[in-house]
Structure 1
Amino acid sequence: MTALHKYQRLEASGLWRPTPDAQRTEVVVSIGDATLVISDMRDQPLAHWSIPAVERANPGRRPAIYHPDGDPGETLEFSENEREMVAAIEKLRTAVDRRRPHPGRLRLVTFLVSMAAVVTLLLFWLPGAMRAHAVSVVPDVKRAEIGQALLDIMQRITGPACNDTNGVAALAQLAARLPASEGPGRIMVVRGGVDEATHLPGGTILINRALVEDHEEPDVAAGYIVVERLRAARRDPLDTLLAHNGFWASFQLLTTGALDPDILQSYAQRLLTGANQPLPDDVVLDGFRAWSVRSTPYAFAVDISGETTLGLIEADPFANGTPEPVLNDANWVRLQGICGG
């Protein structure tokens, strides 16, 4: 202990009592090799106390009284005049205490580290894990119910879906031509509210009437439908809904099998006002190839100049050939009148 060297020549007088019933004896106290040496006035050693085992009986009070650890009956008292010796003993005791293991502190640190790990787990792993589990176990029927509930909310803004009889029949032909991965999937044309196209849990796609009324060929509407099919395949629409509303939405769906109206309202608002993230060109082109739809009409509808969609124009999978028509002319005309003109 390096602090010992500073005090090894230090001596002080004190009153020593070996037992509670003994008389106090005046002694000389010096600091030895990690010990307090207690000697009588003839310099004969009476006791050696190990400094690591020295305890103070009255911390912060005067006169300072010490005893060996575990034996409070043997005491050593220093008068007010021996402040230097008391300061030295206190400094050595502090140095020893710093080097001792502190099980309580270790337990506290271990507990805090464990709690931090648990909190980190709850904040970063559990929400994603719970959402993924919810997405994997919710059946198609429940997805369709959630999609219909969203549609009911959105129709307060979009108005009811266009339903001219001839147009609805043509729209069914279009849905059959561009099926979802699991069945035809429902396509609906709305008068407003939706910015071009969006998709719902359960396979429903909503398209703005402008996609069928403002273009000369059905390939444009077909292109938007294909892109929504790709978005739904790339990320489950239910996963997007739950991620938008956070941990509570996943927890509620798993525990109750339903979602609060406020959760649905928030996501419906996002679908009506949020901009869709563009998909990579290679993903889009693969989709157009799979559904046998030309990409050029869609590319010019997205950007009339073609500058930002040049990749879709130059790599059109049917640039040199004509795929199966999306709709024949008669059905295309009927579809254009689905909203009643």
Structure 2
Amino acid sequence: MTVLAEYQRLEAEGVWRPDPEAQRRNVVVSVGEATLTISDFNGSALTHWSLPAVQRLNPGERPALYGPGDDAPETLEVSDDEMVAALNRVLKAIRRGAARPGRVRGLTTLAVVLGAAAIAFFWLPGAIVRHTASLVPESARTGIGAALVEEVETVAGAACDNPSGQRALSSLSDVLFPGKPTTLVVLPSALTGTANLPGGTILISHTLVEDYETPEVLAGYLIAEDMRRTRQDPLSELLKAAGLNAALTLLTTGKLSEETLRPMSEWLVTHPPARVPQPVLAMRMKEAGISGKPYALAVDYTGKTTDTVADAIPAVPRPVLEDGDWIALQRICED
């Protein structure tokens, strides 16, 4: 369905109540291939609603109120205008499809056959990708990440490695991701923002360290990237981009060929990152003691799409890096 494909991976904040007696809970709402997923702020799914069953319970009112069926006790409030508009379009498209009863009874059999073929064509590759990624150990993920860095370097140039800058980069990783081993790699060209690799590596554009006066912008990009890798396995995302053959090769041999790694590396530096829920990002930055305004204005200088993050002002601000470390990091690409 074209309408559904347009809104896949769209996310927004909502308020979920599992039953009328339960406490209301702030959640993240996302549109999938056939379901509406309701997750907590850590990315763990709380429930899935079948899109054809979703009902708007208060047409014309705000916040929009939805339920997973006429008699279901669950409810979901959504205030985000973009998500409400998306759900309205998707549900209308589904209703239109359901409102056309069978014209010729013999088409039912054809529909079943085509449905089975569609499952094999669309669902099976995704299932194989997810299964393959789940079997890859952390050591192999680290190896794939290192191999991808080498491939990316053929396009972007050798990673920046000024020793003082590298020490500052290591300090930044410790500050932002305590207890979560993360390797940060600054590239001298090609990449425009940040990107995740399997094994805990995050690629960084040189512009994020060279073009801004303070490290809060870079910190915001890195926290957003950490949210993405928590919500979407970087290896799964790469295998989806590379196709079924890459997943089957990794599943059967435990390796990825150079012919597979090369298009993966190109996808990494050209593919726009997935959106992250702005309220959750704002909360993460406040918890880290980092002002969200520098990052918000760097992403959208008008502030219209990042106003929630811009308003994230920590109660107890803390420096992301000492001034000397930030200066060293800004010079990481210098010889």
Match among 141, 154, 157 for residue 156 of structure 1: 154
Q: Give the whole-Å Cα distance in 2 for the aligned partners of 1:293 and 1:140.
A: 30
1:292 aligned partner, one-letter code: G
Point out where structure 2 has 5 or more consecutive residues left out of the alignment: 1-108
Q: Which residue of 2 is the match for residue 288 of structure 1?
A: 285
Match among 255, 258, 262 for residue 259 of structure 2: 262
Aligned pair count reads 229
> Are positions 1:323 and 2:317 aligned together?
yes
Indicate how the Cα distance of structure 1 residues 186 and 113 shifts in structure 2: closer, same or farther if over 3 A, else same: same
Q: Which residue of 2 is the match for residue 82 of structure 1?
A: none
Q: Give the whole-Å Cα distance in 2 for the aligned partners of 1:251 and 1:115.
A: 26
Q: Give the whole-Å Cα distance in 2 for the aligned partners of 1:115 and 1:303.
A: 48
Question: Rg: which structure is higher?
Answer: 1
2:254 aligned partner, one-letter code: G
1:165 aligned partner, one-letter code: P
Offset, 1:326: 0.7
Q: Which residue of 1 is the match for residue 219 of structure 2?
A: 222
Offset, 1:217: 0.9
> Are positions 1:336 and 2:333 aligned together?
no
Q: Which residue of 2 is the match for residue 51 of structure 1?
A: none
Indicate how the Cα distance of structure 1 residues 113 and 192 shifts in structure 2: closer, same or farther if over 3 A, else same: closer
Point out where structure 1 has 5 or more consecutive residues left out of the alignment: 1-110
Match among 136, 139, 156 for residue 137 of structure 2: 139
Q: Would you say the 8 A contact 1:150–1:264 is kept in 2?
A: yes
Q: Which residue of 1 is the match for residue 303 of structure 2?
A: 306
Q: Would you say the 8 A contact 1:218–1:326 is kept in 2?
A: yes
Match among 119, 122, 130 for residue 120 of structure 2: 122
TM-score by length of 1: 0.62
Match among 169, 172, 185 for residue 170 of structure 2: 172
1:291 aligned partner, one-letter code: A
Q: Would you say the 8 A contact 1:253–1:259 is kept in 2?
A: yes
SS at match of 1:297: helix
SS at match of 1:292: coil
Identity %: 37
TM-score by length of 2: 0.63
Superposed CA deviations along residues 138-181 of structure 1, whole A, max 9, x for unmatched, are 1011111111111111101211111111111111100111117x
Q: Which gives a bigger RCO, structure 1 or 2 (Cα 8 Å, sep 6+)?
A: 2
Over the aligned positions, Cα root-mean-square deviation in angstroms equals 2.4
1:338 aligned partner, one-letter code: I
Q: Give the whole-Å Cα distance in 2 for the aligned partners of 1:214 and 1:116.
A: 53
Structure 1 residue runs of 4+, over 6 Å off? 111-115
Q: Would you say the 8 A contact 2:228–2:274 is kept in 1?
A: no
Offset, 1:236: 0.5
